[in-house]
Structure 1
Amino acid sequence: MKLVVRVKLLPTPVQAAALEATLYACNQAATWAAGVAFEENARRPLELRKHTYAEFRARWQLGAQAAQHAIKKTCDAYTTLKVNLRNGRYGRPGTKRHARASGKPVVFRPQAAQPYDDRMLSWQHEQQTVSIWSTAGRLKGVAFTGQAEQLEVLAAHRKGESDLVCQGGKWFLIATCDIDEATASTHPVGFLGVDLGIVNIAVTSDGARHCGRRINRKRESDRNLRSKLQKKNTKSAKRRAKKHAGKEARRAKDINHKISKRIVAEAERTGRGIALETLTGIRERARLRKPQRVKIHSWPFAQLGSFIAYKAKRAGVPVVYVDPAYTSQECAQCHHTARANRPSQAGRVCGFVEHADHNASHNIRQRGWMAWVCGAQSTAPELTLIA
């Protein structure tokens, strides 16, 4: 199982200047290589290397490994673009948006992440320092810090590449760790159903309800502030908007981590698995009123599901995904399905009364159990981020 651990670098001003120059050179070289790949239609590493490797070494003074990583990063960017175009991420073929995305070379930001392997980066865990390659030479004794749990995972399980990232003037290393999976129980005693929503972010079949009222009010306040600053468009407004950039996403990520940790801990404690809804394509399927569209498009439901899945995988808790159709309209007692069940929150046939989200979580639990009995395999992502 692969996890990604992010640690914060604490470089001196001289080291920070060298790292900034390194990122700038690597991304400038990658942008130039992307233009060559676009013109020559050379979007595989071996083909692109023939056109760019010598120029990387001579013009940008990149080391051999840095040049190889810049070439691979360029090819990976085109692979991602191809997949997004195929999946409709940029609209249908023939539209202006699709033409803009496919009709020009890929461009890298000056401070985009740069991969480092063990030849370019070495870790001294006891001293909490790293030795890292730069265009100005090898930088030794660059300090780093992080949470105690993160540092323990990093020292014990780090394996593979690490990415150097600059965000808001702060420097980070994102390292890949390969952790052994916990041994899951051969047959869970049951399943914990989890219903994801907007008013209630998550409701479990045990009755735990993670309410989103306070969070939604704060998100609406943030949206109003962003709109106000964008309309004002002065220097001070731009400065304030930059200060608040990413704040809502960080808050949502923190909340999702806390909710997923509680859900997985409860399932592990009781020896059960976790049943989740398959929410792929929910934004295309759901029919919502205009005020609700912003909420469903902005809250990271997929992130919460992935956090539950990877934490469950690490704890050895089985996870299955079920069809979310009619979970709120189906009565959890008599299984009669009708639209009238949800508004009244009562079964129209048996008279059973329950909160709609709680009722849905019971249906998800039952569907998860049936899927497991029928031979469904536990599923969880291979790569995610802990921070």
Structure 2
Amino acid sequence: MKLVVRVKLLPTPAQASVLEATLTACNEAATWAAQVAFDEGVCKNLPLRRLTYREIKARWGLGAQAAQHAIKKTCDAYTTLAAKLRNGRYGRPCSKRHSRASGKPVVFRAQAAQPYDDRMLSWQHEARTVSIWTTGGRMKNVAFTGMADQLEVLARHRQGESDLLCEGGQWYLLATCEIPEAEPNAHPVSFIGVDLGIVNIAATSDGAKYSGRRINRRRAKDRALRSKLQKKGTKSAKRRAKKCTGREARRNKDINHKIAKRIVAEAARTGRGIALEDLGGIRERVRLRKPQRTTLHSWPFAQLGAFIGYKARRAGVPVVYVDAAYTSQECSQCHHVERGNRPSQAVFACRSCGFVEHADHNSSHNIAHRGWYVWVCGVESTAPALTLIA
């Protein structure tokens, strides 16, 4: 199983300036290659390399490996863009968003991540330093730090490329590690159903609820502040907006990690599996008013599912995905399905057998039942292959 460990670099001011010049050169070269790919209609690695490799080395002074990584990064960006267009991430074909996204070449930020392989980057774990290629030559003794457990994973299991990244003036390396998976539990006694929502981010069939009311209020305040600063448009407003960039995403990520950790720990302790809803395409299926749309579409449910997936794989807990249709309208006791079973957001009252329960817990029981059925039928879901440790 692949994980990505994030370590913080501690360069001196002189080293930081060299790293910044290197990252800028690599991304300028990738942006130029993206323009060539767009003009020539070539997005495959080998044909694009024939068109751009020599020019990139000559104009930006990149080494052979750095030039090839810049070209590959361009090809990967176009592959990702094509997948997003195909999956409706930018709306329907011929829409304005779709046309804007597909009608111009990819552009890389000056400090976007740059891949490094073992020929460009070497680790000295005991000294906690790295030796890294730059446009100014090989730079040695660049210190790094991180949490003790993450550094242990890095030293034991690092394999493959690492990405150099600059965020908010801080330098990081994202290192890929190949982690051995725990022996999977082939005979779970049952499944924990997890219902995802807005009022309650997650509710389990064990009765646990992870409320989202306080979080949603903070998110609403963040959105109001961003809107206010954008309208103001002064230099101080822009500085404040830049300072707040990414705050909501970091908070959401932290909350998702904590929720996933608790759910997986409970499943591992009791010898059970985890059943999740398959929410693929929910943005296209759900019809909501504009204020509700913002709340629903901005919470990273896919990220929460990915965190549960990779933590479960490390713990040997089986994870299955089930059809989410009508889980909120189905009675978990008699399985009668009717829209009128939901008199309010929080209440479920079956019109057939009279069963009454909190709506989210009723849904989680249905998800648990469907998860067991999926498992018995032999259709096990796979967890995402690559996730960040943070």
Q: Offset at 1:287?
A: 2.5
The answer on 1:29 being equivalent to 2:29 is yes
2:6 aligned with 1:6, yes or no? yes
Greater CA deviation, 79-88 or 202-211? 79-88
Distance apart, 1:238 and its partner CA: 1.1
DSSP-derived class of the 1:354 partner: strand
Q: CA deviation at 1:94?
A: 2.8
Deviation at 1:301, TM superposition (A): 0.8
Picking from 368, 372, 379, the partner of 1:369 is 372
Output one character per residue of 1:84-138: Cα deviation in whole Å (capped at 9) or x when no partner. 2222323333333333322322211111110000000000111111000000111
After TM superposition, the structure 1 = structure 2 runs for residues 208-227 of structure 1, keeping only pairs within 5 Å, are 208-227=208-227
Equivalent in the alignment of 1:312? 312
User: Matched residue pairs, number?
Assistant: 387
Alignment gaps of 5+ in structure 2: none
Corresponding residue for 2:389?
Answer: 386
SS at 2:188's partner residue? coil
- How far has the Cα of 1:170 moved from its partner? 0.6
Structure-1 separation of matches of 2:287 and 2:54: 54
Determine whether 1:58 maps to 2:61. no
SS in 2 for 1:122: strand
Q: Which residue in the other structure is 2:292 paired with?
A: 292
- SS of alignment partner, residue 201 of structure 2: strand
RMSD value, Cα: 1.2
When residues 140 and 71 of structure 1 are mapped into structure 2, their CA distance, relative to the original with a 3 A threshold, is same
CA deviation after TM superposition for structure 1 residue 261, in Å: 0.1
Residues 1:176 and 1:213: Cα distance change in structure 2 (over 3 Å): same
TM-score if structure 2 supplies the norm length?
Answer: 0.97
Distance 1:293 1:96, change over 3 A: closer
The unaligned stretches of length 5 or more in structure 1 are none
- Quote the sequence identity (%): 77
1:151, distance to aligned residue in structure 2 (A) = 0.6
How far, CA to CA, are the matches of 1:232 and 1:378 in structure 2?
48
Check 1:291–1:39 CA distance in 2 against 1; reply closer, same or farther (3 A cut).
Answer: closer
Separation of aligned partners in 2, 1:197 and 1:70: 40
More divergent stretch after superposition (273-282 vs 94-103): 94-103
Distance 1:328 1:39 in 2: 50
Question: In the alignment, is residue 148 of structure 1 matched against residue 148 of structure 2?
Answer: yes
Match of 2:159 in 1: 159
Q: Distance in 2 between matches of 1:21 and 1:163?
A: 16
Partner Cα separation in structure 2 for residue 259 and residue 222 of structure 1: 22
Per-residue CA distance 1:43-69 (angstroms, 9 max, x = gap): 222211222221122211111110111
What's the secondary structure of 1:111's corresponding residue? coil
User: Counterparts of 1:81-230 in structure 2 under 5 Å?
Assistant: 81-230=81-230
Deviation at 1:41, TM superposition (A): 2.6
- How far apart in 1 are the matches of 2:222 and 2:100? 31
Distance 1:46 1:40 in 2: 14
Q: Secondary structure at the match of 1:358?
A: helix
Paired residue for 1:68? 68
Q: Distance in 2 between matches of 1:194 and 1:81?
A: 31
- Higher mean C-alpha deviation, range 77-86 or range 346-355: 77-86
Residue 345, structure 1, aligned to residue 348, structure 2 = yes
AA paired with 2:224?
A: N
Runs of 4+ in 1 over 6 A off after TM superposition: none
* 3-state DSSP of counterpart to 1:357: helix
In 2, Cα distance between equivalents of 1:41 and 1:378: 37
Cα separation, 2, equivalents of 1:355 and 1:9: 48
State the shift of 1:139 in Å: 0.9
Residues 33-52 of structure 1: pairs in structure 2 closer than 5 A: 33-52=33-52
Q: CA deviation at 1:325?
A: 1.1
Distance in 2 (alpha carbons) for counterparts of 1:342 and 1:99: 41
Q: Deviations over 1:255-301 (max 9, x none)?
A: 00000000000000000000000011112212323332111011111
The 2-side partners of 1:171 and 1:269 are apart by: 38
Distance (Å, rounded) in 2 between the aligned partners of 1:212 and 1:85: 31
**CA offsets, 1:189-247, max 9 Å, x none?**
10000000000010000001111111111111111111111122111111111111110
User: 1:42: Cα distance to partner?
Assistant: 2.7
Could you tell me how far 1:342 is from its partner in structure 2?
1.5
Q: In the TM superposition, what is the alpha-carbon distance from 1:13 to its structure 2 partner? A: 0.4
Query: Take 1:333 and 1:240, find their aligned partners in 2: how far apart are those partners?
Result: 53
C-alpha displacement at 1:10, in angstroms?
0.5
Tell me the amino acid that sits aligned with residue 145 of structure 2: T
Aligned to 2:17: 17
Alpha-carbon distance in 1 for matches of 2:44, 2:287: 41
In structure 2, distance between residues paired with 1:298 and 1:38: 31
Q: Residue 340 of structure 1: SS of its match in structure 2?
A: helix
> How many Å separate the matches in 2 of 1:284 and 1:314?
33
Q: Output the amino acid matched with 1:48.
A: L
Partner Cα distance (2:318, 2:8) in 1: 33
